[in-house]
Amino acid sequence: MKNTQSKNLFNEASKYIPGGVNSPVRAFKSVGGDPIFIERAKGSYLFDADGNRYIDYIASWGPMIMGHAWEPVIEAVQKAAERSTSFGTPTEMEIELARLIVNEIPNVDRIRMVNSGTEATMSAIRLARGFSGKNKFIKFAGNYHGHGDSFLIKAGSGAVTLGHPSSPGVTPGTAQDTLLAEYNDLASVEALVKANPGEIAAIILEPIPGNMGCILPEAGFIKGLREICNKEDIILIFDEVMTGFRLGFGGAQATLGVEADLVTYGKVIGAGLPVGAYGGRADIMEYIAPNGPVYQAGTLSGNPIAMTAGYTLLKHLKENPSVYTDLAKKCGQIEDGLHPLLQEKGIDYQINRQGSMISLHFSNSPVRDFESAKLGDNQHFRNFFHAMLEEGVYLPPSAYESWFLNAALSDSDIDHTLQAAKNSLEKL
User: Annotated catalytic sites, by residue?
Assistant: 144, 239, 267
Q: How near is the Cβ of 48 to ligand HOZ at its closest, in Å?
A: 16
Phi then psi for residue 169, to 5 deg, are 100, -15
Quick count: other Cβ atoms within 10 Å of Cβ 285? Answer: 23
Size of the site for ligand HOZ (CB under 6 A): 8
Site map (CB under 6 A) of ligand HOZ, residues 304-343, x = contact: ----------------------------------------
State yes or no: residue 118 binds ligand HOZ (CB under 6 A). Answer: no
Distance of alpha carbon 265 from alpha carbon 310, whole angstroms: 12
Q: How near is the Cβ of 275 to ligand HOZ at its closest, in Å?
A: 14
CA angle 302/304/309 to nearest 5° reads 95
By CB under 6 A, the residues from 8 to 37 that bind ligand HOZ are 23, 25-26
State yes or no: residue 401 binds ligand HOZ (CB under 6 A). Answer: yes
Residues in contact with 375: Cβ distance below 8 Å, sequence separation at least 6, in sequence order: 363, 365, 367
Q: How near is the Cβ of 419 to ligand HOZ at its closest, in Å?
A: 27
Residue number with the smallest Cβ distance to ligand HOZ: 23
Site map (CB under 6 A) of ligand HOZ, residues 343-382, x = contact: ----------------------------------------
Q: How near is the Cβ of 403 to ligand HOZ at its closest, in Å?
A: 12
Q: How near is the Cβ of 206 to ligand HOZ at its closest, in Å?
A: 10
Distance of alpha carbon 116 from alpha carbon 364, whole angstroms: 36
Closest CB to ligand HOZ among residues 64, 228: 64
**CB-based contact 272:309 (threshold 8 Å):** yes
Q: Cα–Cα distances in Å, from 60 out to 229, 269, 315?
A: 33, 13, 20
Residue from 10, 61, 278, 394 in contact with ligand HOZ (CB under 6 A): 61
Coil, strand or helix at 112: strand
State yes or no: residue 206 binds ligand HOZ (CB under 6 A). Answer: no
Closest CB to ligand HOZ among residues 156, 279: 156
Residue from 52, 143, 157, 363 in contact with ligand HOZ (CB under 6 A): 157
**CB-based contact 203:143 (threshold 8 Å):** no
Closest CB to ligand HOZ among residues 44, 211: 211
Residue from 43, 148, 158, 248 in contact with ligand HOZ (CB under 6 A): 158
Distance of alpha carbon 21 from alpha carbon 158, whole angstroms: 12
DSSP 138-206: EEETT----S-GGG-SS--HHHHHTT-SS-TTS-HHHHTTEEEE-TT-HHHHHHHHHHSTTTEEEEEE-
Q: How near is the Cβ of 161 to ligand HOZ at its closest, in Å?
A: 9
The residues that touch ligand HOZ, with contacts defined as CB under 6 A, are: 23, 25-26, 61, 157-158, 211, 401
